[in-house]
Amino acid sequence: MGVRIALFGQAPFGRDVLRRILASGHEVVGVYAPPEGSRPDPLADEAAARGLRLLRSKHFRRHGAAIPERVTEHRALGADLNVLAFVTAILPVEIVDAPRHGSLCFHPSLLPEYRGGSALAWQIMLGATQSGVTVFRPDAGVDTGPIVVQKGSVPIAATDTAGSLYFDKLYPLGVDALAEAVDAVAAGTARYTPQDESRASHQGLVDDAVARIDWREDAQALDRRLRGCDPSPGAWALRDGEPLRLFDARLAPDRGGEPGRVLGLEDGRLLLAARGGCLAVGRVRGPEGSKQPAAEAGIRSGERLT
């Protein structure tokens, strides 16, 4: 027997979760997607094409409290369950707990490890070797609610970025996990397992302060930082006083040189000296413009990024 669902999400992940939920026979009574921007949102487009009620809200809280109009709007849907698929907005408890089955939320780690909004990046940066996905019932904490479905372990390769870990490995697993959790709630067989707080870890958001390169770190740590910050926000150092963001990085053998010094190009990659190794960078982005191949950025051998 299906349940009535309010789906909160965005991007291709939200779209694919919507498709799986509908294919399983559940009724989607409302789809919450981000406001219209410069690029179409795949979830919003899918909902509109299917004639579903589409609600485009950026904020659900104001000054720390629920926005009454959003709460009234949500309750009018009569949802049995909220499904949170790639949600960046903070939802108030008045919405999270309103349906009779509460909410289900996707998280790209094996909770209770790597709680927080930058779980993908931190798994790479802190050297995790295995990952997975979790669907849990949100509570008042940050990613602390009881687990409904967990899938893993997925190996993290030494060349994985936050992007490749998500899109190539965790994305399809996450769609499966959410669909499985929704079906279990609908069937009355869902089990809510408290998280083991003795294994819990929480990391903050990865902002520019975290993404800035410190050449005192060794090459392995810097390689993880570059890959963890790829594709966003991009690990960076200063070139002539302006931020230069580094992407598509690989760890290479030590070639000597002062950390941060440009050693030249090899196979189209920019070679940067580091402590105990070398960073081979495929793409860069300056303060203006988009990413470009490192070989075309005009960076000269002998320069030093600070």
- The domain segmentation of the chain, as residue ranges, is 4-199, 208-296
Q: Which fold has domain 4-199?
A: Rossmann fold (3.40.50)
pTM metric for this prediction: 0.95
| Amino acid letter, 161 | T
The CATH homologous superfamily to which domain 208-296 belongs is Formyl transferase, C-terminal domain (3.10.25.10)
Residue 145, phi-psi category: left (phi > 0), alpha (psi -120 to 50), beta (remainder): beta
Q: What CA–CA distance (Å, rounded) separates 162 from 249?
A: 12
Supply the pLDDT for residue 288: 85
The residue among 198, 203, 181, 177 whose CA lies nearest residue 190 is: 181
The residue among 29, 28, 31, 27 whose CA lies nearest residue 8 is: 31
Q: What CA–CA distance (Å, rounded) separates 232 from 85?
A: 19
Supply the pLDDT for residue 24: 97
The residue among 262, 258, 298 whose CA lies nearest residue 281 is: 262
Q: What CA–CA distance (Å, rounded) separates 21 from 225?
A: 36
Supply the pLDDT for residue 289: 84
Supply the pLDDT for residue 266: 95
Q: What CA–CA distance (Å, rounded) separates 225 from 212?
A: 9
| Amino acid letter, 266 | E
Supply the pLDDT for residue 150: 98
Supply the pLDDT for residue 37: 84
* pLDDT tens, the chain, 306 aa long: 789 999 999 999 999 999 999 999 999 999 999 999 889 999 999 999 999 999 999 899 999 899 999 999 999 999 999 999 999 899 999 999 999 999 999 999 999 999 999 999 999 999 999 999 999 999 999 999 999 999 998 999 999 999 999 999 999 999 999 999 999 999 999 999 999 999 999 999 999 999 999 999 999 999 999 999 999 999 999 999 999 999 999 999 999 999 999 999 999 999 999 999 999 999 999 998 899 999 999 999 999 999
Q: What CA–CA distance (Å, rounded) separates 185 from 101?
A: 8
The residue among 281, 6, 48, 292 whose CA lies nearest residue 303 is: 281
